[in-house]
Structure 1
Amino acid sequence: MTTPYTDRPLAPVTVDAATEHFWTQAKEGLLCTRRCTSCGKVHWYPRALCPFCMGDTEWCSLSGLGTIYSVSVTRRAGPIPYAIAYVALDEGITMLTNIVDCDFDDLKIGQRVEVTFKPADGGAMVPMFKPA
């Protein structure tokens, strides 16, 4: 059995002053988040204060490479199957994201993945992951 990826519509994203840099970088094909200027830890999702020490943060680039920690393929929630996964990025943070551009039945825990971007309604590019 195979379950190939099919593009599906993505809802528009909300861009505000706090997330504008993130969405601008995503349009250029770059994944970024914030790093604490006090303790040095990166965290996902991007926010102005560090969730570990409440220090100030600054934007930093991510490699966009990671490993599938957990994955689930949903075939009955709508007309188009999709794969959702926790991806552990090489920088040490974990993202809940979609896996795209592959046969879902070939996905495995521990598999290497890389970021790719899919267009949402309104033009924003949404980070997702595909097999590396």
Structure 2
Amino acid sequence: MLTRTLPVIDRDNEAFWTWGREGKLAIHRCANCACFVHPPVPFCPCCESRDVAPQPVSGRGRIVTFTVNHKPWVPDISAPYVLALVAIEEQDDVRLATNIIGCAAEDVRFDMEVEVVFEAAEDLWIPLFRPVPSA
């Protein structure tokens, strides 16, 4: 488990940080144009509608890019650890900055299929990703 600085929760991002309690990844979606929006904001950057609300998504995606940190930059986080941008399955241009867990750092690859898992931290649920198990 990584020690983290926790985010400040507001009306726009609350679902993203709390729906993990039920195992759901919440991404805002515009009711007007169906565009997914992340990070969560109170308007759609695609059509400028204010009719956006959190919606559960599949929790699956792919690694777009990543870096392996070999230095322990943050106290209590042991190296190496992987920071990645994950594109969600529902809309490829929506990216989440996250950690990849559940595999050795040297096994992480570009375009690797991943799925969300949640780490509890106080009243929040941090979305992390792990490789999708082989069928």
Q: Which range, TM-score by smaller chain?
A: 0.7 to 0.9
Q: Displacement, 1:13?
A: 2.8
Alignment length (residue pairs) = 125
**TM-score using structure 1 length:** 0.85
Question: 5 Å matches for 1:1-132?
Answer: 7-55=1-49, 56-78=51-73, 80-81=78-79, 82-92=81-91, 93-120=94-121, 122-132=122-132
* 106-115 vs 44-53, greater mean Cα deviation: 44-53
Partner AA of 2:78 in structure 1: I
Higher strand share: 2
1:16-71 deviation line (CA, Å, top 9, x unaligned): 23333333312211101111121111121122100111102122111000111111
Match of 1:4 in 2: none
Distance 1:69 1:52, change over 3 A: same
Unaligned runs of 5+ in 2: none
Q: Structure 2: which amino acid aligns with 1:99? A: I
Q: Which runs of 4+ in 1 moved over 3 A?
A: none
**Aligned partner letter, 1:86:** L
Q: Indicate conservation of the 8 Å contact 1:114/1:131, yes or no.
A: yes
Structure 1 residue ranges without an equivalent (≥5)? 1-6
Q: Which has the higher contact order (CA 8 A, sep 6+)?
A: 1
SS at match of 2:18: helix
Q: CA RMSD in A?
A: 1.5
Instruction: State percent identity of aligned pairs.
Output: 31
